[in-house]
Chain A
Amino acid sequence: MKLPIQVTVNGVRYTHEVEPRLLLVHYLRDVLGLTGTHIGCDTSQCGACTVLVDGAAVKSCTLLAVQADGASVTTIEGLAQDDRLHPLQEGFWEKHGLQCGFCTPGMIMTACDLLRRYPDPTEEQIRHGLEGVLCRCTGYQNIVAAVQYAAERLRAGAPPAPTR
């Protein structure tokens, strides 16, 4: 059984026929070639595969591609605009928010949703909000600093995360 789906990813509309059991993360990586979304644990724990679906952060290893039919998906590839990094990407760069970088796409996409809810988050809100992404390198300290940096830049008027 294959079903037609229509998904908008980073502003581009795609139509494909997929098996119902195809996970969204495999659709993004294997069908669309968007390998910025990483597969870490594949058991809904680590959050490396987090993307935005209609603006909400979700673990794309725990969503079927058919469930995203009609939705707008944003991946890490969709954040930078005209070669200009998104404030969160800039923050991770400036504040050394990554070491190996494996969790970083999931961390940034989750932080997008977090900053949409809390434009001026407390440190506790940042730590609670990022609980669903595991980083084994940094000890999280610089990740928190990176999100604080981005929050400040966004409040100062940098373009916000796309929610298309």
Chain B
Amino acid sequence: MFPRPFDYLAPESLDEVLAALAAEPDDTKVLAGGHSLLPLMKLRLVAPRRLVDLRRLRGTLAYVRPEDGGLAIGALTTYYALETDPLVSARYPVLAETAGAIADLQVRNCGTIGGSLAHADPAGDLPAVVLALDATLEAVSRQGARRLPISEFFVDAYTTALAPGELLTAIHLPAPAPRSGAAYAKFRHPASGYAVVGVAALLALDAAGRVATARVAITGVGEKPYRAQAAEAALTGASPTADTLRAAAAHAVDGVAPLEDLFASAEYRAHLTRVYAERALARALARAQAA
């Protein structure tokens, strides 16, 4: 299968990339790892007139750095790098584990965290984890740089708050709170490997062992990844017992109309979501109590 013809550029610098994006913002697609974009182009579901390949920016946009007790991650950092980076495993093991469970070895060699977020596949794994970790994203365009909270980033299926001509360059993760832990539980589609349901949960406990902060982010279920606010509210201030977690997980699909496809009906998907929310919460709690 061949994509439709397109023009191709692989600029040497960020400035040149931004200039290329500004020139024809509506007809240009950014190529990072390419493992979402190229299959869509081969199926001719998308046909950009021009591709701007970021491969020559790996030297500047593929990195993991410590930052104020948290992490700064370059948008071109691959899943494989996240999976194996000692700093990621030390500060946010949930991110390393999730990256290591995406697709397969070959895809993890190519796929990037920035690509995953900017593509905004409703069944992508990293969007849920980054949402639960309350990341701040950095985007640049010829007009300058800006930061936006992850909670404002996902707009709809395959649609983000990035403006035409704007490039996602970095993901900033805050320092993990004391007595906190996070986990991702995924029901993997047996053929595609995508999340039929994926739940990322983060719990931070106060000195008395009660829940100070709860964040539950869900992918695969709605048109975009979402925070299960009713579940979070049920946990906040509570004493985290198995019963509390189960009762909170029961609210994981409140206010959401679950997607339906050949593999999973809306009802089945809703059921899976509650089950996987409980599992993710239980693992996050174990981590928080051990921290």
- Taking beta carbons and an 8 Å cutoff, which residues of A are in contact with B? 1, 3, 19-23, 42-45, 47, 50, 56-59, 62-64, 66-67, 69, 110, 113-114, 128-133
Q: Are A63 and B34 in contact (CB-based, < 8 A)?
A: yes
Bound-state CA distance A143–B192 (Å) is 22
Cβ of A44: which chain B residues have Cβ within 8 Å of it?
35, 38-39, 107
Can you add 7 more A-B contacts, CB < 8 Å, to A47-B106, A58-B106, A67-B10? A1-B8, A20-B7, A47-B104, A64-B8, A64-B38, A66-B10, A132-B106
Bound-state CA distance A43–B6 (Å) is 20
In this complex, how many residues of chain B approach chain A with their Cβ under 8 Å: the count is 30
Q: Are B107 and A132 in contact (CB-based, < 8 A)?
A: yes
A153 to chain B, nearest CB (A): 21
Binary A-proximity of B30-70 (CB < 8 A = 1, otherwise 0): 01001100110011000000010101000000000000000
Q: Are B53 and A57 in contact (CB-based, < 8 A)?
A: no
Judge if B110 is at the interface, Cβ distance under 8 Å. yes
Judge if B5 is at the interface, Cβ distance under 8 Å. yes
B52 to chain A, nearest CB (A): 11
Name the residue of chain B whose CB is nearest to the CB of A3.
B8
Q: Are B110 and A21 in contact (CB-based, < 8 A)?
A: no
Contact among B6, B103, B105 for A20, CB-based, below 8 A: B6
A136 to chain B, nearest CB (A): 13
Contact among A19, A20, A57, A131 for B51, CB-based, below 8 A: A20
Cβ of A66: which chain B residues have Cβ within 8 Å of it?
8, 10, 53
Q: Could you name 14 residue pairs across A and B whose Cβ atoms are closer than 8 Å? A: A20-B6, A20-B7, A21-B2, A44-B35, A47-B106, A59-B106, A59-B107, A62-B35, A63-B38, A67-B55, A131-B105, A131-B193, A132-B106, A133-B104
Name the residue of chain A whose CB is nearest to the CB of B84.
A117
Cβ of A62: which chain B residues have Cβ within 8 Å of it?
34-35, 38-39, 110
Known: A42-B1, A66-B10. A132 touches B104 (CB 8 A): yes
Q: Are B7 and A1 in contact (CB-based, < 8 A)?
A: yes
Q: Are A20 and B8 in contact (CB-based, < 8 A)?
A: yes
Contact among A21, A69, A113 for B109, CB-based, below 8 A: A113
B2 to chain A, nearest CB (A): 5
